[in-house]
Amino acid sequence: METYDSSLAPRFSQLLAQREAELRALLHATGDFAEAAVEAGPHEVVDFKDVAMEQTRATVDEAMAEHAEQELEQVLAARRRLDDHSYGNCLDCGEAIDLRRLTSLPAAPFCTACQAIHEHERPLAMRR
C-alpha cells in the first residue's frame, strides 16, 4: 500500500485548497438560492405541484448545504493536519491512510476500516 509522506504536502495542500474553494462557492450558491425562493414565495400564485417541487428543491438544497458545511470542516481540519504534520494518518487508529483513498478524498480523517465503523455508528455521516 502506498502511503502519504511529507514530500506530497504541496500537492495535497493544493487539492484541499481547491476543494475548500469549491465548497465555499457551493455554500454561497445555495445561500443565494434559499433567498431567491423566499423572495418569490408568498406573492406568486402557484399550484400545488409547483409548491411541492419548490419544497423538494429546498430540502435537497438544505441537505446539500449541510453536507457541504460538514465537508468544509473536514477540509479545514485536514489543512491543519497538513500544517502540523499529522496529515495522512487515521485519527482513530493512527495507521497511515491508503494514498489512493487520500487522493480521491483528501479530507478523509479515517482509514477505510475506521470509516466503516463510523458509518455504522452514524449512518448519515460522510455519505457521498
Q: Which is nearer to Zn ion, 27 or 91 (CB)?
A: 91
Q: Which is nearer to Zn ion, 22 or 92 (CB)?
A: 92
Q: Which is nearer to Zn ion, 26 or 90 (CB)?
A: 90
Interface residue list for Zn ion (CB under 5 A): 90, 92-93, 111, 114
Which residues fall within 8 angstroms of residue 15, CB to CB, at 6 or more apart? 103, 106
Q: Which is nearer to Zn ion, 30 or 74 (CB)?
A: 74
Min CB(115)–Zn ion separation in Å: 8
Instruction: For residues 89 and 42, give the distance between their C-alpha atoms in angstroms, rounded to a whole number.
Output: 51
User: Which cell numbers in the block locate residue 23?
Assistant: 465548497
Angle at 55 (CA atoms; ends 52, 58), nearest 5 degrees: 150
Min CB(110)–Zn ion separation in Å: 5
CB 96 within 8 A of CB 88: yes
User: Which cell numbers in the block locate residue 101?
Assistant: 483513498
Min CB(123)–Zn ion separation in Å: 19
Min CB(71)–Zn ion separation in Å: 19
